[in-house]
Amino acid sequence: MMTQASKPLRLAVLLSGSGRTLQNIADAIADGQLNAQISLVLSSKPDVFGLQRAANLHIPSKVVSRKEHPLAQDFSQAIWQQIRPLEVDYVCLAGFMSLLTIPDDFAGRVINIHPALLPSFGGKGMYGHHVHEAVLAQGCKVSGCTVHLCDNTYDTGPILVQRTCPVLTGDTPDDLAGRVFEQECLAYIEALQLLSKE
């Protein structure tokens, strides 16, 4: 008989771009590092490479276009209408570039990764290269990433995992982004492993 602990985590992955984090999660599942299955990939944009990755991985995918839902509440409701019937355990934001309103039944079940050590360098407008540029402008010697449970504001909610990397003299935002992403790949899997043991 299968025990609760041995059941794979059921995940939905939300993305808006290339799907590198989706690929990282899928690779960890394939390698046996993570006992999980991805039930759905949902994109806020059509024609992004993340959808092609989902197809390559034989994972069902859907698009809920932000442009077709001008009101944030309508956009969020359309997303939850796609996810709720799947009875997933967790929703993984993986380069998802819109604020998502989290309903009560998904409180504590939406995970995000941020390319800095929160609470520093978070909040509205702080994503992608904006974060790395700000870290360099501040003269930080250390950066990294944060995996956290989401609430209904940007980059807040309980922290699950943080990993660090050095900021080196002469770093460009691209240099730092590459080093941080290496840590993101490890941190997201570590956080999901922790959640799978709860």
- Do residues 144 and 162 touch, judged by C-beta distance below 8 A? yes
Catalytic positions: 114
For the residues of 86-120, what is the DSSP string, one character each? G--SEEEESS--S--PPPGGGTT-EEEEESS-TTT
Kindly give, in sequence order, each residue whose CB lies less than 8 Å from that of residue 163, ignoring residues fewer than 6 positions away: 144, 145, 183, 184, 186, 187, 190
Kindly give, in sequence order, each residue whose CB lies less than 8 Å from that of residue 81, ignoring residues fewer than 6 positions away: none
